[in-house]
C-alpha cells in the first residue's frame, strides 16, 4: 500500500477517477478501509452520533476527535486522514490554529471546517502555517439549530449561486478539498466543474469528484433509519471487507449514488 497524498486526489480529479472516502474512528476499521483501497478516511464529528449516541454532533470536543484520529492513524499509517474540527473549535483564526495543531499532532493530514465566507481568514491563517484545510458546504450539521433541521440545501438558485461563490472564495483562500452535503445533483456537478480542487459529495449526486459516507450507514447499521443518500453495502455480502469492496467499486464505476439516493 503506498502513501496517499493530496496530489493523488488532484490527479484523480484531473483523470476523472472517482475518489472514495469513508468516515473512520478506530484502528481496526481504518486498517480494513486502507486494505480495501479507500482513498480518504475522515474522523468525522459524526462520532458524536454513531459512537457517543448523541442526537447531534454538537457534544464532540477537539480532544474526542484527537483521540479517534490517533486510533485511525495507528491502524492505517499510509492513509490520507482528515480530522473534523468540532463545533465551536474554530470561532476565530487563532483558536482554530491552536485546535487544528492538536489534530495534526494526533496524525491528521488535513482538518475540515463547516462554513462559507466567514471562514476565509481562518483558512488563510491555517494554510499559511502548514495546516491543509478541507472546506464543508451545503448541509452543515453543526448549524442544525440555525438551519432548523437536516434539510437539503441549495435548491433555490440564489442560495446555489451563493454556495458556489463561497466555494471559490474558500479555494482562493487555500482550501485544498471540499465536501458538499445534501444538495441537488445538478449543484454537485457545478461544484466539481467550477472548482480546481477535488469535490467529495455526500447526498450530492453522482457528478462530484468522489463520494463519502458515514461508515455505519454504508454497513446499513441503524436500519430503522437509513438516510436517502446512503445504501446498505453489507446486504448480500459475506464479510465487512466484501461490503467495503462493493462500496469502492460502486463509487469508482459511477453506479453509486443512483438517482434514488440523490436530490433533484
Ligand atoms: O462528520 C462527518 O461524518 C461528516 C461527513 C458526513 C462528511 O462531516
Mind listing the pLDDT tens digit for each residue in 125-139? 999 999 999 999 999
Task: Respond yes or no on whether the N-terminal peptide bond of residue 139 is cis (omega within 30° of 0).
Answer: no
Measured in Å, how far apart are the chain's first and last C-alpha atoms? 38
> Does 26 fall in a domain?
yes
The answer to whether the beta carbons of residues 79 and 33 sit under 8 Å apart is yes
Domain count, the chain: 1
> Does 184 fall in a domain?
yes
> Does 106 fall in a domain?
yes
> Does 159 fall in a domain?
yes
Closest ligand 1 atom to residue 46 Cα is 1
For ligand 1, say whether the CB of 214 is within 6 Å of any of its atoms.
yes
- 133-138/110-114 β-pairing: parallel
- Nearest-CA residue for ligand 1 atom 2 is 44
- Nearest-CA residue for ligand 1 atom 4 is 44
Specify the residue for cell string 480532544.
Answer: 63
> Does 1 fall in a domain?
no
- Integer CA distances (angstroms), 150 to 11, 70, 89, 140, 181, in order: 33, 30, 21, 8, 10
Burial class of residue 223, CB neighbours in 10 A (0-12, 13-18, 19+):
exposed
Tens-digit pLDDT profile for residues 84-101: 999 999 999 999 999 999
Q: Cell for 162?
A: 451563493
Region 244-257: mean pLDDT is 98
How many other CB atoms are found less than 10 A from the CB of residue 128? 11
- How far away, in angstroms, is 86 Cα from ligand 1 center? 11
Report the percentage of the chain scoring pLDDT > 70: 99
Closest ligand 1 atom to residue 84 Cα is 1
Identify the pLDDT of residue 148: 86
Tens-digit pLDDT profile for residues 175-188: 999 999 999 999 99
- How far away, in angstroms, is 61 Cα from ligand 1 center? 15
> Does 38 fall in a domain?
yes
Region 204-217: mean pLDDT is 98
For ligand 1, say whether the CB of 179 is within 6 Å of any of its atoms.
yes
For ligand 1, say whether the CB of 46 is within 6 Å of any of its atoms.
yes
> Does 245 fall in a domain?
yes
- Can you give the CATH number for the domain in which 112 is found? 3.20.20.60
Whole-structure pTM value: 0.97
Active site residues: 181
Is the confidence at residue 223, as pLDDT, over 90? no
- Nearest-CA residue for ligand 1 atom 8 is 44
Burial class of residue 119, CB neighbours in 10 A (0-12, 13-18, 19+):
buried
- How far away, in angstroms, is 74 Cα from ligand 1 center? 21
Is the confidence at residue 1, as pLDDT, over 70? no
HEC readout, 40-65? EEEECCCHHHHCCCCCCCCCCCHHHH
Task: Give the structural domain span for 49.
Answer: 6-261
> Does 186 fall in a domain?
yes
- Integer CA distances (angstroms), 200 to 75, 161, 207, in order: 23, 18, 10
Closest ligand 1 atom to residue 112 Cα is 8
Amino acid at each position: 500500500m503506498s502513501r496517499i497524498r493530496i496530489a493523488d486526489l488532484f490527479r484523480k480529479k484531473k483523470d476523472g477517477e472517482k475518489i472514495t472516502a469513508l468516515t473512520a474512528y478506530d484502528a481496526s476499521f481504518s486498517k480494513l478501509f486502507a486494505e480495501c483501497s479507500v482513498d480518504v478516511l475522515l474522523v468525522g464529528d459524526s462520532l458524536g452520533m454513531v459512537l457517543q449516541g448523541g442526537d447531534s454532533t454538537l457534544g464532540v470536543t477537539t480532544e474526542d476527535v484527537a483521540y479517534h484520529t490517533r486510533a485511525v492513524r495507528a491502524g492505517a499509517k499510509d492513509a490520507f486522514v482528515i480530522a473534523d474540527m468540532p463545533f465551536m473549535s474554530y470561532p476565530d483564526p487563532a483558536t482554530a490554529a491552536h485546535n487544528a495543531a492538536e489534530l495534526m499532532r494526533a496524525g491528521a493530514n488535513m482538518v475540515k471546517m463547516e462554513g462559507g465566507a466567514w471562514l476565509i481568514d481562518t483558512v488563510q491563517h491555517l494554510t499559511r502555517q502548514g495546516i491543509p484545510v478541507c472546506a464543508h458546504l451545503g448541509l452543515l450539521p453543526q448549524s442544525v439549530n440555525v438551519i432548523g433541521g437536516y434539510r437539503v440545501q441549495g435548491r433555490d438558485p440564489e442560495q446555489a449561486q451563493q454556495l458556489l461563490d463561497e466555494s471559490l472564495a474558500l479555494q482562493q483562500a487555500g482550501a485544498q478539498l471540499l465536501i458538499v452535503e445534501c444538495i441537488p445533483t445538478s449543484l454537485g456537478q457545478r461544484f466539481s466543474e467550477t472548482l480546481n480542487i477535488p469535490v467529495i459529495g455526500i447526498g450530492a449526486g453522482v457528478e462530484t469528484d468522489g463520494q463519502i459516507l458515514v461508515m455505519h450507514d454504508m454497513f446499513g447499521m441503524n436500519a430503522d433509519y437509513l438516510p436517502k443518500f446512503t445504501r446498505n453495502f453489507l446486504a448480500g455480502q459475506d464479510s465487512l471487507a466484501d461490503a467495503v469492496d462493493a462500496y469502492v467499486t460502486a463509487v469508482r464505476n459511477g453506479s453509486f449514488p443512483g438517482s434514488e439516493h440523490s436530490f433533484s
